Structure 1
Amino acid sequence: MKKVLLSSFLAFGFSAAIQAQSSVGSANEQKNAISEFPFMEIGGKLNGKVSTSEIENGVKNAGDTSNASRILAPDCATLVSPANASVGSIYNPVLLRWTKPSGTITGYDLYIGLHPDALLKLGTSNTTGANVGGTTPDTTYYWKAIAKSPSGDAVDCETWSFTTMSTLDPYCGPIASFSISPMQAITFVNFKANVEKTSSVTADTPHENFKDHIFKVEKGAETTISVNSNTGTGKKHYYTVFVDWNQNGNFNDAGESYFTTTPYFSNLGSDGVDASKIVTSVLAVPEAALLGKTRMRIKAVEAPVNGPLSGDLSNMTSPCNNAAPAIGQAEDYTIEVVPKGSMAVDNVNKSNVSVYPNPFKDVLKISDIKGVSSIMVSDVSGRKLIEAKPTNDLNLSQLKKGIYIVNIKYASGELKSIKVIKE
């Protein structure tokens, strides 16, 4: 029988660290393993007396009904995050959150396991949140929080599930020490002549893993990075970027950190959705960067509008953790370093494709769409404006006069980017 060790569980308000083993077997095996835990009787305590009758399905049946004065059990706590059935949650630790029901609540019994009918009690929390360690990547967990009151424990409360994100190995992380209530998420990331990655404003994961999304940059050349995030009204995010240019599995080497000192790369008062709030900065790729795919990490850290304080700077400069409490988010991506000059917007040597006329007025013609999977038009900052199916006649009449990038994506994964001018 496979055993999974859930060790060193630490929870906000827990009376003590709990160490236990969760056996992945039948529900009855699990129930027997945890039958020593205190359960409430159906409908609440009777005269404050708890019987010793049989425990069944996690509920203790009342046996002593003398002089009974029925007191109702509390309502169930409302589970908040990770969202039910969510995929990509942070692991080791994972932050579980719920809200207090009405009435007098003395604590919450927290349960977690690998099967909804075989949950392990971790302990009792005095607050509405818990950091649970010992969780592993690419694993589905089930959990619930049972409200406790002087009259008994809540019954028939729902069980939620979440699946943890894929591993960040060999890189450090995930970074758990970001406040996510409310979530201040990174919502847009792109590099020049690439396809952007957008993500939810309401994400409840402090560190998201988008390593399947690839940005191409040229060895020894300057590029631009564009970012947006949900800073909150009147608040400011400071962005820092870390890239493993020598592909040695960490971000610790010289030249692998960006925007950790003045001038900072920041964003003020964005809701994470308004495209006009996307900010762009220059990022220089070292001549020594190795060709091929490697990892990039971006952090958004909330700090005072007038400039980050010492604790903020510690958080901004560390790719692996936060030295002080922080509000913001981290995201991981893949960077592919390609030879210098291979991404020039007018370079179409690898294909006979051409676009004309250029400049154009309303319709842009594409000479060859063989093998093309999609066509995307962006502005010079990399913000996607139009996405279309393959066509020889691309109608861009809705665009204003200006300079745009036409990104032709092939089924092979190759991307051709061509600069065009609309008159």
Structure 2
Amino acid sequence: MRKFLLSAGLLFSGFIFSQITIGNDVSSAYAPIYPYQNNGYTQSFYSKAAIGASGTITGLVYEMKAGSAIANSDVVDVFVGMTDKVVAGNGSDWVPVAELTKVYSGKITLVNNKVTIEFTTPFVYDNAKNLVIAVDENKAGYDSSASRFLGTQAQNGAVIYKGSLTNGTNIDPSNPGVGTLNNILPNVTLLGLNLPTGAPVCSTVTTPADGAVNQIFLPKIVYSASAGATKYYVSVGTSPGGTDVVNRYDNGNQLDYYFVYELEPETTYYVTVTPANEHGEASACQSTSFTTGTPVANDNCSTAEVVTLPYNKNIDGAFASDSEGPASCNGEPKMNDGLWYEVTGTGGNLTIKVTPTSFWDPAIMVKEGTCDAAACLAFVNAASYQQAETVVISNSVPGKKYYVNVGAASIIDFTEGKFTLDISDDGTLSTNDLNKKSEILAVYPNPVKEILYINNAKSGNSYEIVDLSGRKIQSAKYNDGVNVTKLQRGIYLIKLGGQTLKFIKE
């Protein structure tokens, strides 16, 4: 997900209308209200660094997805307060409503996908603490499940919500019960506050947590917004403040950073994020650290797990490294070098099935006889995300070794997900010739700025571009290249012809 802080003072009819907007992503939020509930109560936490100004808050503006409706969810009480909490720690960690100020009570209206709430009691905010906004939705009835407010990814617990599905049951804010933590913070505009001036303050790196251990080799760096910042410089090194891995990368106004290449296992890394704007950079921003984990034992073909048939196992592939580079067939890279398994032929048909149990796209490669074999007996990448892949080795040779690689269907480093691996021997299976070599697609240039080309792609075939959360960004017919100039910088997946490839937009 991409996260932004947009802060603005807008000029209308000769006077200044002050406002600060936090968040600009399009994720579906459960706050301030979730219309697909009979009623509900939510609290959302906004950091003082993201607000960056003191003053009197006179109202709020939220935005909903196009086509949303709140006809059965438009009676609310709104409370605002200040708190030391950054997030709710658990489902009972509400800020007591007695510590909040009721700033509005009544009906709200959706106009042009926006809900504007003008406070009847303005709230004085000193920017010494974080801001909590609580909304109690009181009208019985339901709206569509597609009616959602827009939000931005944050720390888990940035929102706590409790919904009721039962008619006649209205949640009491003074005793809401156990709620649910969520990491999608609703985008909000705080009316009445002035845009801060001067250089921004330092952000807080929230993911990985400072001192975290056993981290995957392609972690995502997430940090908090800093009021007034227009860009963030990201540095990563093997010592505090170091830049030997990433040297002051200009990450624009994005609040998350993706590594393109895997980090080394069992290594401590230090992350420094420096917000900046036209007035200068934040000063003396401190580094946080995290340590990567240990690769799985069967990370390479030479250490493949020896399988006893029948084999069925639930596996987490997050700690498979791509240390030996992409797995290849006859020198042509095909997929990530994931987890390896050794199977002995029985004379019957061997069936190998990989069923993903988390959001990722697996592929299967089989080498025959030795790990050093250049040719592949089979390579399958016929399905897409969260869909099973199957290879059948017909009439396996008794006593012969078959080496099976299960990895991400990409030649660029990609973290393997969770999956179920089934390997069985059944002499009654019909013979399937899976030795045909599938033509693999390849994207170039990668990284790309303007036009992305796909080698071996056929004109007229439909393609789809999604982000790493699975959200569709763009789709059309392929015709001599794909224009990606409007995409924001980051990592994307393009699906075409039954294959999924990863590319980086500069």
TM-score norm. by structure 2 comes to 0.31
TM-score norm. by structure 1 comes to 0.36
